[in-house]
Amino acid sequence: MTKSKILNHFTLLLILIIYTWFLKGVTSEDYIVGDGDEWNSQGNFLTWSTKYNFTVGDVLVFKYVKGQHNAYEVDEKTFRSCDASSGVLTKYESGNDKVKLTEAKKYWFICNVSGHCFGGMRFSIDVKQGNNPSSDDTNPTTDGSPTSQPDELPAVPPSSSSRSTLSSDTWKNGIYTLVFVILFKLFY
């Protein structure tokens, strides 16, 4: 009797832990670009952009001294050329720019102050759908297929973000299964 009680408590605790984990994935998060170093000429934003798995609903916050930098959302061509005479989607210049990631797609950002883009103030992120397993599994990812890789990647090395996101999806599916099994064992 007591043994099974302990087991039940343990299971409840496990469910709680998994649930906290799970909720962390569901809720949207604010990401300060560059973390504590913020958006400036010294940062390595290629490294920063691969640190997180961004999902739809997350918010990027660009923090900098107004006038010293800016944040342009651009297309891929402009990201690579650093030439913002075309391909600019949105300009952010307030010094505290909140950019909500509303779509599951690739986003490219540059700073358009002279020399800053080439100096490293640019990055791209691959925003995923988030905790919606059905759409995650059925969405054919264009960047994941090996056939589309070699032809269109000149200057900048590809980020490893898509790979780590894939493995986190596998993780989530595993957690779903685990929760299901535990609930099943608990109630039947």
Q: Which 8-state DSSP code applies to residue 160?
A: S
- In one-letter notation, the amino acid at residue 55 is T
Which residues are near Cu ion by CB under 5 A?
69, 111, 113, 116, 121
Q: Among residues 48 and 104, whose Cβ is nearest to Cu ion?
A: 48
39 three-state secondary structure: coil
- Minimum distance from residue 118 beta carbon to Cu ion (Å): 11
- Least Å distance, CB 74 to Cu ion, is 14
Nearer to Cu ion (CB atom), residue 33 or residue 104: 33
The token pair at 97 is 């720019």
- Which CB, 119 or 144, lies closer to Cu ion? 119
State how far the Cα of 37 lies from the Cα of 51, in Å rounded to an integer. Answer: 14
User: Which single residue is written with the structure tokens 């809720």?
Assistant: 27
* CB contact set of 102 (below 8 Å; sequence gap of 6+): 56, 57
How far is 56 from 49, CA to CA, in rounded Å? 15
Looking up tokens 């651009």 gives 74
Q: Which is nearer to Cu ion, 43 or 130 (CB)?
A: 43
* Residue 70: DSSP 8-state: -
- Identify any residues that bridge with 96 across adjacent strands, giving them in sequence order: 63
Q: Which residues have CB under 8 Å from 180's CB, separation 6+?
A: none
Complex with Cu ion: residue 112 or 159, whichever CB lies closer: 112
CB of residue 151 to Cu ion, shortest distance in Å: 31
> At its nearest, how many Å lie between Cu ion and the CB of residue 113?
4
- Taking the complex as a whole, the smallest distance from the CB of residue 69 to Cu ion amounts, in Å, to 3
